[in-house]
Amino acid sequence: MKIRTGEQVITAIDIGTTKICVLIAQLAADRSMNIIGFGQAPSVGLSRGVVVTMSPVVAALQDAIHEAELSSGHRIERVSIGISGGHICSFNSHGMVMIKHGEIREIDITHVMQSAQSVILPEGQQLLHAVPQFFTLNGHDVVKDPRGMYGVRLEVQAHLITGAVASVQNLIRCCELAGVAVDDVVLEPIASAAAVLSQDERDLGVGMLDIGGGTSDFAIYQRGTVRHTYIIPIAGNVFTNDIAVCLQTTLHDAERIKKEHGIVDHHLFGDDYRFEIAQMDGIGRQSVMRSDLFSVLEPRTFEILMMLSKEIERYQLRSSMPAGLVLTGGGSLLSGLKEQAAEILRCSVRKGIPLIDHTPRLQSPIYATGYGLLEYIAMRSRDGSLFSGNHTLMHRVVARMKSWMLDIF
């Protein structure tokens, strides 16, 4: 596909536990987005979003990047990547500065955000995102964007997200060994939210659960910004492993029957029936009942949803979700999950599918993170630096990590 002169080309890489997906898009002058390249490869060498063996990750990245370059006719040099995993932590922080010149300027926003970031992080953790939730003027006026307003004291409530330095560094290093430089590292639930949540949902208050291969990522949006994030270390691969162990079959067949016969809500179960699966040696065949598969999958989905329910109750977040919950990611395709989530969480639940013009192949929850990364980059480009969350910060993080790597090697 021919690249139109003068249009910005952006690239996002979803480095997941089960797949690596590369998306290339053009940003037009009006900041609309058109996908021009796509590449995908099976993910090997990651566990729950964390690199455990570097060489197969690099090889998979190279395969997906090459496919995307061929389909677009564009050479990839710089990318934004998603990150998740059990090492991710988040909390809210408060910052305050005095305004000496009356009018609030961009530099005052920078200073008050720096004040909110002035916290002691656990050893080995690095700040990834610092997202302003709301600002307060003179102690009582709550505003979304204080630039140009007048006041004597500016405060901010910010959502800070941290990750393990080693985990972030390893992902960046894999990309560099695959031949691309990393401009930005984005928390995956923030990326997925950009793909599947409407602006009304973001404003009113909504939860989103992205069930991937390695982790299930939760985020709550309210007043147009992130209020809470939470990573659950149970996801699609755990379901597959449970099936393989309990039904004594191969991982390949466990994944197949999960997609073809899996169901997790007893109200939708219907008539029981028998089907064939491979034996664990991969040679023989055996017959199992669908009820046997249900007895494996249902408790695990119940566990995920109960962990989510406890998190919502612990932080008193239910009032922040009047628009309910949006399920996305490959795990959201499991039959009956939406109904089970609505029953356990006692809220409305819908499935989140990215609506991508002219690319029906990508209109699936499986590609929410990859497409959301593109939307995040485009959104940041349209809106400027104030609500982008981590653009300037991440450049500093990436630069610091490169410096550390030079020191190490």
Q: How confident is the model at residue 384 (pLDDT cuts 50, 70, 90)?
A: low
Task: For residue 122, give the nearest of 84, 82, 89 by alpha carbon.
Answer: 89
pLDDT score at 158? 97
pLDDT score at 100? 87
Secondary structure, 3-state, 309-324: HHHHHHCCCHHHCCCC
Q: What is the pLDDT of residues 230-252, one digit of tens each?
A: 999 999 999 999 999 999 999 99
pLDDT score at 383? 64
Domain ranges of the chain: 8-86+165-197+357-408, 89-161
pTM of this structure: 0.90
Q: Which helix (H) or strand (E) holds 108?
A: helix 106-116
* Mean per-residue pLDDT of the chain: 91
Classify domain 89-161 by CATH number: 3.30.1490.110
Instruction: Please answer whether residues 27 and 96 qualify as being in contact, where contact means their C-beta atoms are separated by less than 8 angstroms.
Output: no
8-86+165-197+357-408: CATH topology:
Nucleotidyltransferase; domain 5 (3.30.420)
pLDDT(396) > 60: no
Beta strands 206-211; 325-328: pairing state: parallel
* Better-predicted residue by pLDDT, 4 or 403: 4
Q: What are the start-end ranges of the H helices in 155-263?
A: 165-177, 188-196, 199-204, 236-246, 251-261
Residue 130's φ and ψ, nearest 5 degrees, are: -130, 100
Report the range of poorest mean pLDDT among 54-58, 211-215, 311-315, 353-357: 353-357
Beta strands 46-47; 50-51: pairing state: antiparallel
Q: How confident is the model at residue 382 (pLDDT cuts 50, 70, 90)?
A: low
pLDDT score at 379? 84
pLDDT(31) > 60: yes
> What value does the mean pLDDT take over residues 47-61?
96
